[in-house]
Amino acid sequence: MSQKTALITGTTGQDGAYLAQLLLEKGYRVHGLKRRSSSFNTGRIEHIYEDPHIEDPQFSLHYGDMTDSTNLIRLVQETKPDEIYNLAAQSHVQVSFETPEYTANADGIGTLRLLEAIRILGMEKSCRFYQASTSELYGLVQEVPQRETTPFYPRSPYAAAKLYAYWIVVNYREAYGMHASNGILFNHESPMRGETFVTRKITRAAAAIALGRQDRLYLGNLDARRDWGHAREYVRGMWMMLQTDEPDDYVLATGETTPVRTFVEWAFEDAGVTLEWRGSGADEKGYCAKSGRLLIAIDPRYFRPTEVELLIGDPSKAREKLGWHHETSPRDLAREMVQADLKVMQSAPIGKGA
């Protein structure tokens, strides 16, 4: 069997890094799209980076951007992928309220640009397509647990952009017979998670506070509930979706939901810091250490104009049709992330995060 070639957009992100590694292990030739940045943005893929000067490198990076269709057409033409994984996105929900037009452009129209590149090049039948869709599509609760048939109700510019991307993928599948699939993935985290997403913000702060390197952690809505799984297991599901005879849309989730508040408690317990609850609801003052020092405070700036209060996914379809299942529980995920941050923190300075 000839070697398969994959193109990953968003390869410098959390999922892109795990997916590139998985595909290299499976013997793929992997091309990754990276953005031009004024400082290095390849920290997550350093361990799989290959010097482009070596003969026949298996992993190559190319400059590009989801807002530039000329670039995307050329990239698809040059790399001739058997599989495209579209993971690139402005992926921060709160930031999407600040940059709604850019988010729509990169996350929504960017997906269309990539699908059109495939079509313009006549690759509809030879190139399979994975779209990084999201549980944020469910937004305001319509049904619990959420599954492939649950109605969407986006609650942010990010989710609205991803809604367009979801439907344009379905449309290109139906209109042009493309093998194009949406993975509706619930939150997935790891030690490589971006530092401004809530889990990583918490595990980094728990580690830093335990080591005496940070005084206080400011958070927003502690009552939101999320279905948190491990990113390494979710990228395996992405690959599985492109190996099926027929394209389709699948939920990947653990089926367990946890309040942000509980994740805080787990992380600080794992870092060896004792918390005591002070006040609740409107009187909420946060958590303090036994000494009485306030360690966690609520900052309204982290509340979103419209919130997604409850996510819990039903991954039955992926289990039955793909044989996919999660392994890491949210509790174990928190432990792994805290341990990793304690290790990093002992050898590197801490930066400031949103």
Residues identified as active-site: 134, 136, 158
Shortest distance (Å) from residue 2 CB to ligand NDP: 28
134 part of the interface to ligand GDR, by CB under 6 A: yes
User: What is the Cα–Cα distance from 4 to 26, expressed in whole angstroms?
Assistant: 9
Choices 81-89, 114-122, 144-152, 320-328; region in contact with ligand NDP by CB under 6 A: 81-89
Which residue has the CB atom at the shortest distance from ligand GDR? 224
Mode of pairing for the β-strands spanning 225-226 and 258-259: antiparallel
Shortest distance (Å) from residue 126 CB to ligand GDR: 29
Mode of pairing for the β-strands spanning 5-9 and 29-34: parallel
When the beta carbons of 105 and 221 are compared against ligand GDR, the nearer one is 221
Q: Which of 30, 45, 84, 89 binds ligand NDP (CB under 6 A)?
A: 89
Alpha carbon 62 to chain centroid, angstroms: 21
- Site residues for ligand GDR, 14-43, by CB under 6 A, read none
Quickly list H helices, the chain.
Answer: 14-25, 69-79, 93-98, 100-103, 110-120, 157-176, 198-210, 231-241, 260-270, 316-322, 330-347
44 part of the interface to ligand GDR, by CB under 6 A: no
Partner interacting with residue 319 (select from ligand GDR, ligand NDP, none; CB below 5-8 Å by kind)? none
Q: Which of 5, 95, 112, 194 binds ligand NDP (CB under 6 A)?
A: 194
Closest CA to 118 of 62, 176, 40: 176
Upper half-sphere CA count for residue 96 (Cβ side, 13 Å): 25
User: What is the Cα–Cα distance from 308 to 322, expressed in whole angstroms?
Assistant: 28
- Site residues for ligand GDR, 83-102, by CB under 6 A, read 91, 93-94
C-beta separation of 188 from 249 below 8 A: no
Which strands form 217-219's sheet, in the order they lie side by side? 217-219, 294-298, 286-288, 276-278
- Site residues for ligand GDR, 221-250, by CB under 6 A, read 221, 224, 226
Partner interacting with residue 66 (select from ligand GDR, ligand NDP, none; CB below 5-8 Å by kind)? ligand NDP
Cα three-residue angle 316-319-320, rounded to 5 degrees = 85
User: What is the Cα–Cα distance from 101 to 105, expressed in whole angstroms?
Assistant: 6
Closest CA to 232 of 316, 319, 148, 336: 336
CB atoms within 10 A of CB 85: 30
Q: Which of 21, 181, 187, 254 binds ligand NDP (CB under 6 A)?
A: 187
- Site residues for ligand GDR, 289-308, by CB under 6 A, read 302, 304, 307
Contacts for 166 with CB less than 8 Å, ≥ 6 apart: 131, 133, 137, 152, 182, 184, 249
CB atoms within 10 A of CB 350: 16
106 part of the interface to ligand NDP, by CB under 6 A: yes
Shortest distance (Å) from residue 227 CB to ligand GDR: 9
Choices 77-85, 106-114, 118-126, 218-226; region in contact with ligand GDR by CB under 6 A: 218-226
Q: Which of 15, 65, 107, 136 binds ligand GDR (CB under 6 A)?
A: 136
Partner interacting with residue 16 (select from ligand NDP, ligand GDR, none; CB below 5-8 Å by kind)? ligand NDP
Partner interacting with residue 106 (select from ligand GDR, ligand NDP, none; CB below 5-8 Å by kind)? ligand NDP
Residues at the site binding ligand NDP, with contacts judged by CB under 6 A:
9-10, 12-16, 33, 35, 37, 41, 65-67, 87-91, 106, 132, 134, 185, 187-188, 194
Residues at the site binding ligand GDR, with contacts judged by CB under 6 A:
91, 93-94, 134-136, 187, 196-198, 201, 219-221, 224, 226, 260, 302, 304, 307
